[in-house]
Amino acid sequence: MENKELQEIQTHLTDPFIGKVLLGRYRVDSLLGSGGWGNVYLGVHLSLDTQIAIKVLHQHFARDEERQRRLEQEAKVLSRVDSQFVVKTIDYGLTPIAFIVMEYFDGIPLSDILETEGPFIQDEAIVLFEQLCEGLGAAHNVGLIHRDLKPSNILVKRSENGEIRSKILDFGVAKILNDTSGSNKLTATGEILGSPAYMSPEQWTARPLDQRSDVYSLGCLMYEVLSGKQMFEAENSYEYLNFHLSAEPRTFAKVSSELNITADLEKVVRKCVQKEPQDRYPSVEELFEDLEKVRSGKRVTMRLKAATRANIVRTKRTVKWPIFAIGSLTLVSAAVLYYFREPILISACTNINKDADSAAKARKVDAAIQSYRNTLFLANYLPKQDKRKLHAMRSLAELLQKNGSFAEASKLKDQVNEITGANQPQNWQKLYNLANTEKAHGRWRNAETYAKETIRTAEQTAGKSSMLYALSIDLLGSIYQQSGRGAKAVGLQQEALRLTEDLLEEDDQQIPQRLNNLGLCLRQQSKFDDALKAYQRAIEYAMRYDHPALAVRPYNNIGTIYIMQKEYDKGLAASQRALELDLKTGNTCGSTIMNKIAVAYFRKNQFEKSIEAFEKALEYGKNAEGGFDFSSSLETWHNMGGVYEKWNKPAKALECYKRCLEVQMQNNPEDRDVERYKQDIKRMEQALATAPT
């Protein structure tokens, strides 16, 4: 059997969604394909007995509210698009699985057709373009722009008589125009979405978008369908950026002398891909009209605006761009970079880093090194602590070290440490340790004093945008939280989290730890919904980047909130998941988690299960010598006594309370709990004395 078939069988057997029935009526049958956000499955609408396609978010996005909102937005808006050339949306669900149910269209991606068959003949291409215009027009009419139009998002099917039928799919990064509901605020300021080969100049520069951006992307697609080549062919996002902002596409004659494309159709394509939106077709309806003219042999009259070179002169006078770093970057696009500054630089650096990461993974070391250097050149115009710059510096240092360039690698590492404050000055470290020592002993005033001094030292040494500062304010926040002053802690923990996410790689273990700390502060303020979100994000980070041990405490803290809200079954499920991960990763929290589980069973009046859980808590809490931790074992035995007392088993309760007194007298006979244990014993002895024989 072929390897591909074996892989398909293995996927079918191990995929958690295959065989599931969603919303009681949509059965998932097989995997059709995968993307960045999720998988697409072939399924059956059980009520109608028809085939459907089901788009399911990847599991590590299952609790990502932003992506869920985007999925919900896509489903709701697409349900209003009335066109036979857009894949119809039937239904959607968000919990426990986030998915969209769509019509199934057994077409072939246009990208596959172009790869295997080459360019379309002109007449067939125009039919395809008109269908795409109709589909996009229907979307634009309900205020939706696609933002990611490309050949892989177009399905094409040919009938037996050769007629083609197409459908547009994947509006996953679509934008709603004139939206006042707030549902469209799903991307951060300056976030760039799309595919580099087809993105309009305004997408690259993070300017406001309208339907003319889709016209540009459609023009790029039309160029490729007619010529068999992308309008701009580049090796990385850095080059695409340059081409889309400043370069003119080659004429079809220069692409190939064998292409039989009329001058009128070429003019139509060129009008679509003008650099400025006002110079393009204002709508796909007007583009459709010119396509009809070409198809019927009528002349298309238009004037295309010539590319301006005015910016070149200005750039020469205002910005010096070193040739070795620019590579193919022209002065025109350099001027645009300078003008739009941060949004486009963020986009460019993000895309270049992705290219560099891919090259490094493919062991194309020289290409990766050059790309990281390009990022560092552009990042000079971003804030000093920008995470894209830090990522490039760390990655470049690693590659240079492997290549034997130790001096340059060491210099880059020192720069990273200087920016992030990773080089901890001795006086700061001393204060940090003192604050932690005082915190551990519950001496809150002393701990607070040292922590504040730590913050001042970090600010003077590394600045407020450093990891040193983040560690310092996180410490003060934890002191406030543990001493019952959660209201003062929240702002500190939020700022510590922001700095950590800005300065460290996404897979760094400090991010889930910060999120868990923030959740603790929010829980203390009874902001349970916000606390749950923080814990869930901590779990997502921990599991996505293979740090399961860091998901233990957030899961256990989720259990605590549900138990506090008397949702005991949910609390048990979360705590048991925490226990499962804890046992797999080293059993450091088993005793604490089992105590939580025991309390939940007690609240449900399941006394036998509660006692069993407390006994397991004692077992998990044993030290290497087989003994018990003094304080935690006392709490467990005392709680067991309370369960037996409520269960009306005074003899068993008496045994537990006597055990508490015995341990307390051996370890700390002066403690005030001694009197409490004596009162518990006296109460149980009286209960036994008056119990019926």
Written as one letter, the residue type at 285 is: E
Q: Could you write out the DSSP letters of every residue in 425-454?
A: -HHHHHHHHHHHHHHHTT-HHHHHHHHHHH
SS3 for 21-79 is EECCCEEEEEEEEECCCEEEEEEEECCCCEEEEEEEECHHHCCCHHHHHHHHHHHHHHC
Helix 630-646 and helix 673-690: axis angle, to 10°? 30
Q: Can you read off the two tokens belonging to residue 123?
A: 């007449």
- CB under 8 Å to 386, separation ≥6 — which residues? 346, 349, 379, 502
| Residues 425, 418 contacting (CB under 8 angstroms) | no
Gap between the Cα atoms of 89 and 104, Å rounded: 10
What is the C-alpha separation between 661 and 668, in angstroms, rounded? 10
Is the four-CA dihedral 235, 240, 246, 247 of positive or negative sign?
Answer: positive
Residues forming beta bridges with residue 622, ordered by sequence position: 628
- CA neighbor of 478 nearest in space, from 507, 426, 511, 435: 435
Residue 336 to residue 44: CA distance in whole angstroms:
50
In a 3-state reduction of DSSP, which class is residue 82?
Answer: coil
The C-alpha angle with vertex 453 and arms to 449 and 455, in degrees rounded to 5, equals 120
- Angle among Cα 407, 413, 418 to the nearest 5 degrees reads 125
> Helix axis angle, 630-646 relative to 590-603, nearest 10°?
20
CA distance 612 to 438: 36
Number of H helices, E strands in the chain: 30, 11
Strands 99-103 and 144-145: unpaired
Q: Which of 327, 135, 289 has the alpha carbon at shortest distance from 214?
A: 135
Distance CA 533, CA 497 (A): 14
What does DSSP assign to residue 622? B
Please classify residue 197 by burial: count the beta carbons closer than 10 Å to its beta carbon, then call 0-12 exposed, 13-18 middle and 19+ buried: buried
Query: Is the Cβ–Cβ distance between 678 and 661 less than 8 Å?
Result: yes
- N- to C-terminal Cα separation, the chain: 76
Q: In a 3-state reduction of DSSP, which class is residue 424?
A: coil
CA–CA separation, 82 and 395 (whole Å)? 48
Strands, E assignment, 440-594: none
SS3 track for 155-174: EEEECCCCCEEEEECCCCCC
Is 132 strand, coil or helix?
A: helix
Cα 533 to its chain centre, rounded Å, is 14
- Catalytically annotated residues: 148
Interatomic CA distance for residues 469 and 424, integer angstroms? 11
